[in-house]
Amino acid sequence: MTGLANTNGRGNKQALVRDEILGRLDDLQVGDALPSERRLATELGVSRPTLRAVIDELVREGLLLRRHGSGTYVAEPKIALPLTMTSFSEDMTRRGMRPGSRVVDFQCLAAGAKLGQRLQISPVDEVWVITRLRLADDETMAIEWLHAPRRLLGDLRREELSDHSYYELLRERQAITIASGVQTIEPTVTSPEEAELLGVPVHSPAFLFERTTTSDGGEVVEFVRSVYRGDRYRLVTELRPALR
Amino acid sequence: MTGLANTNGRGNKQALVRDEILGRLDDLQVGDALPSERRLATELGVSRPTLRAVIDELVREGLLLRRHGSGTYVAEPKIALPLTMTSFSEDMTRRGMRPGSRVVDFQCLAAGAKLGQRLQISPVDEVWVITRLRLADDETMAIEWLHAPRRLLGDLRREELSDHSYYELLRERQAITIASGVQTIEPTVTSPEEAELLGVPVHSPAFLFERTTTSDGGEVVEFVRSVYRGDRYRLVTELRPALR
DNA sequence: GAGCGAAAGTGGTCTTGACCACTAGTTGAC
DNA sequence: GTCAACTAGTGGTCAAGACCACTTTCGCTC
């Protein structure tokens, strides 16, 4: 899935160490201990402060946890919590800001196992992956990666993306109407690639949104992953009467 | 407002430096430059890596921004974005987890200017400030600071807080019914105090919730500030038909 | 076998120093 | 007045090292 890599070719030692540690995490269970910092630093050929900086990141991201005097351990996964939301453009307009959107990349790929599962298609089926920036008053506020089964859109030209929303294209081409969806929101920190696109420092607090949307015929029509700047964003919820 | 301090008496150099910089920020405008790192380090009597660690935090929190080769500047404030939400206990129960709540502190204070404004009372009016932990299966998931005008609750005993929700107390004592509210959600990182209460490392990603709730008579009955663990939480939204 | 103290191991904090990469300001030539 | 080159300033990355504080393990004694 594009947008997830945290080593965007800069190849500095921190990035390389991070890759290495993430690779090792694949082979570990929750609760397993990593080698000690001194040992890992030696093994990976970096200084201990450099290693610690990377482990600091992974701890902040909830992947690792440290215990003073004991060790560094693989952390436990997350819990879900529900709520609802309106669209970016609508919100920006309501705030007297001019919403904008810019496609920075789009390509067609085989779905693969994970994305195939999310979209409920075969892993070999093709998927459009569209990378867009969401702007308000010409400032980048969010990055969005839209994944849509190719069979729903057929061949696609960049101009079509600029001139129409995905939902409009679905309606026009396939007579498909959006019915419902599920979205998750997590706090995160920006990767180097995300930081560059958003114009913020690396490892800044941010919102990570992931949304799976279903048509009224019951099929999954998109999976969207977005990163919203935490320095320029907060969510506001209108609370309903008879709060529990 | 309790819970905001990020130096909980540990008094290490990073905490002291952080206080000092935050103090200086009070006198600066958005866009103003801080003194250079080398200069600040000398002025504050710390090493440059130590200073940088603190500035890293403040950058992550969206208070400062750095430009390579240019300087460190006061960052711009945030934008709002709306949505809605259900209660902690309800969610935990739905997930097959046992919700719990524990009062760790409660005291009566004069509101002060800021809190007075939020609660629409005089700054000299008294306010109950109740600090609670929210637990699921005996693990702390969130910290909550409830601020309520004293005149709504009168004198309060700890057992009353444990045996009743605030809303029940309002109904019983004042015949007040909750009508609506506004809540904001931001990504943040945990302070040392919050980290200790939550049992997570300092500067871990977390959700910061702030909620102001109004009765059907139109008066503000509470201001609540909560920090939810980002490593054990994500928000899930059910999206409505006809997404815009 | 249990308990206690010491040692060894762990993470946490800080310093000094070096060097890289970027930006902004200054100066000189045209 | 403009432009290019240079310099000085900025942040960014990394290393080596020391020492503190906590936890775990081991060895010895009872």
**Pairing label, strands A220-229, B139-149:** unpaired
- What pLDDT shows up at residue B81? 37
- What pLDDT shows up at residue B21? 92
* Residue A57: Cβ-neighbour burial (10 angstroms; 0-12, 13-18, 19+): buried
Distance CA A65, CA B57 (A): 18
Confidence of residue B121 (pLDDT cuts 50, 70, 90): confident
Say how many C-beta atoms besides its own lie within 10 A of residue A244's C-beta.
Answer: 11
Closest CB to A233: pick one of B81, B200, B211.
Answer: B81
pLDDT reading at A161 higher than 80: no
Indicate yes or no: strand D within 7 A of the C-beta of A13. Answer: yes
Nearest to B143 by CA among B153, B155, B130, B134: B134
Say how many C-beta atoms besides its own lie within 10 A of residue A26's C-beta.
Answer: 6
- What pLDDT shows up at residue A90? 61
pLDDT reading at A54 higher than 90: yes
pLDDT reading at B8 higher than 60: no
For residues B119-147, average pLDDT: 85
Confidence of residue A229 (pLDDT cuts 50, 70, 90): confident
Residue A204's alpha-carbon distances to A124, B5, B144, B173, B182, in angstroms, are 36, 20, 24, 45, 26
- Cβ distance B79 to A236 less than 8 Å, yes or no, reads no
**Sole residue written with tokens 């038909």:** B241
Q: Round the average pLDDT of chain A to a whole number and report it.
A: 77
Indicate yes or no: strand D within 7 A of the C-beta of A201. Answer: yes
**Sole residue written with tokens 């490392």:** B201
Contacts of B99 (CB under 8 A, 6+ apart): B88, B89, B92, B93, B134, B135, B136
What's the whole-model pTM score?
Answer: 0.57
Q: Is A154 left (phi over 0), alpha (psi -120 to 50) or beta?
A: left
Quick one: which H or E segment has residue B159? helix B158-163
Q: How far is A109 from chain B (nearest CA, A)?
A: 26
Higher pLDDT among residues B65 and A181, named by residue: B65
Yes or no: say if A237 and B83 are a contact pair by the CB < 8 Å rule: yes
- What pLDDT shows up at residue A6? 36
Yes or no: say if A58 and A24 are a contact pair by the CB < 8 Å rule: no
Distance CA B210, CA B226 (A): 6
Q: Closest residue to D16 by CA to C1' distance?
A: A47
Distance CA A58, CA A64 (A): 6
DSSP 8-state class, residue A177: -
Terminal alpha carbon distance of chain A: 38
